């Protein structure tokens, strides 16, 4: 899933010698301390945010490494000159029980960049939007996969408020300075990031989790029903002693659709009633439950 959060620019200034070496490891041309402006950013932390999501503490070191080398852009008007800032170092910092990724970025001084530096210094460009992709979202209540388990973010279950714990960092994206910090609600967008999404992620992004869960359960019941139908038809064929082996029958039925199976089952049952009325009454109903796997019974 694509995650996008807002954060803030913290400190700023001239790079230290160590920082300059890290910058030059990222930069194409060797730069001097006077040529670059350094600032730090607090990226993701492991606290529950207003989306009732939090990054797993154990996922932060991997995510921090993914942010190194990522660039920052300022508005769309900078798109032709988009590599305005670049993260050259990132580490996990723990303060007062909170773990967070602290990143350092540099801007090459001169031209348009000086305007941005001035804005950062003045506190105008203080808000930063960061994005990343996480592979798994865990429910804090039951430990299952959030979105499937049935719990809802922000709702209380026996006094415990449900949140989604974001795990398995996949990628970190470029960050951008938020031009209008006042629009806080606009800053947190679960963007598509130009990547393919699965149906579950789409449902999460557009607030259709409940509908998705309902459809998912219905689909599982549908799968269970079709499986049951197949077993019934195979069993009916076997009871008619057609002389065909069970694996062959199963292979044939696996290729049949639900509608065909229903027709076949009706015809076979009619035929069995014709030949073996007593067996039908005694045997057909009882074994039905056995083949439904408990995993489908939600």
Which residues of this chain interact with Zn ion, rule CB under 5 A?
A: 139, 141-142, 144, 149, 151
| Rounded least distance, CB 135 to Zn ion, Å | 18
Instruction: For Zn ion, give the closer residue by CB, 149 or 170.
Output: 149
Count of CA atoms in the C-beta half-sphere (13 A) of 271 = 14
Residue 37 or 146 having the CB closest to Zn ion: 146
Q: Give me the least distance between CB of 54 and Zn ion, in Å please.
A: 15
**Closest residue to Zn ion in the complex (CB):** 139
User: How far is the C-alpha of 178 from the C-alpha of 182, rounded, in Å?
Assistant: 9
Number of separate helices (H) and strands (E) present in the chain: 9, 11
Buried-state track 53-77, b at ≥16 Cβ within 10 A, e below 16: bbbbbebbeebbebbbebbbbbeee
CA distances from 42 to 89, 192, 199, 282 (A): 12, 23, 32, 71
Report, in Å, the least distance between residue 161 CB and Zn ion: 12
| Least distance from Zn ion to the Cβ atom of residue 202, Å | 20
CB of 154 to Zn ion, least distance (A): 13
β strands within 109-225, DSSP E: 127-139, 156-157, 160-161, 164-172, 175-177
CB 148 → Zn ion: shortest distance, Å? 8
Residue-wise DSSP of 51-86: TSEEE-GGGHHHHHHHHTT-EEEETGGGGGG---EE
| Cα dist from 131 to 170, 247, 250, 261, whole Å | 11, 51, 48, 48
Q: How far is the CB of 142 from Zn ion (least distance, A)?
A: 3
Q: Which two tokens stand for residue 297?
A: 């019974």
Nearer to Zn ion, 132 or 139 (CB): 139
| Beta carbons within 8 Å of 200's beta carbon, 6+ residues apart | 147, 148, 212
């Amino acid at each position: 899933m694509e995650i996008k959060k807002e954060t803030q620019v913290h400190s700023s200034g001239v790079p230290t010698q160590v920082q300059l070496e890290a910058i030059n490891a990222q930069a194409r041309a060797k730069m001097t301390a006077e040529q670059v402006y350094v600032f730090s950013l607090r990226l993701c932390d492991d606290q529950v945010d207003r989306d009732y999501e939090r990054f797993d503490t154990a996922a932060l070191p991997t995510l921090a490494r993914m942010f190194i080398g990522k660039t920052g852009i300022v508005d769309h008007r900078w798109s032709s000159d988009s590599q305005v800032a670049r993260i050259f170092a990132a580490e996990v910092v723990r303060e007062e029980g909170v773990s967070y990724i602290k990143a350092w970025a540099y801007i090459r001084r001169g031209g348009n960049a000086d305007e941005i530096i001035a804005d950062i210094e003045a506190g105008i460009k203080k808000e930063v939007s960061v994005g990343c992709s996480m592979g798994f979202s865990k429910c804090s209540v039951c430990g299952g996969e959030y979105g499937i388990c049935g719990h809802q973010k922000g709702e209380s279950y026996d006094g415990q408020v449900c949140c989604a714990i974001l795990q398995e960092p996949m990628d970190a994206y470029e960050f951008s300075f938020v031009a209008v910090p006042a629009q806080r609600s606009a800053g947190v967008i679960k963007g598509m990031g130009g990547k393919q999404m699965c149906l579950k992620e789409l449902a999460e992004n557009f607030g259709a989790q409940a509908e998705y869960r309902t459809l998912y359960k219905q689909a599982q019941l549908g799968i269970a029903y079709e499986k049951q139908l197949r077993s019934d038809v195979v069993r009916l064929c076997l009871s008619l002693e057609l002389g065909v082996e069970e694996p062959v029958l199963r292979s044939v039925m696996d290729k049949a659709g639900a509608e065909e199976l229903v027709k076949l089952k009706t015809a076979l049952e009619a035929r069995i009633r014709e030949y073996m009325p007593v067996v039908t009454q005694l045997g057909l109903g009882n074994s039905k439950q056995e083949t439904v796997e408990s995993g489908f019974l939600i």
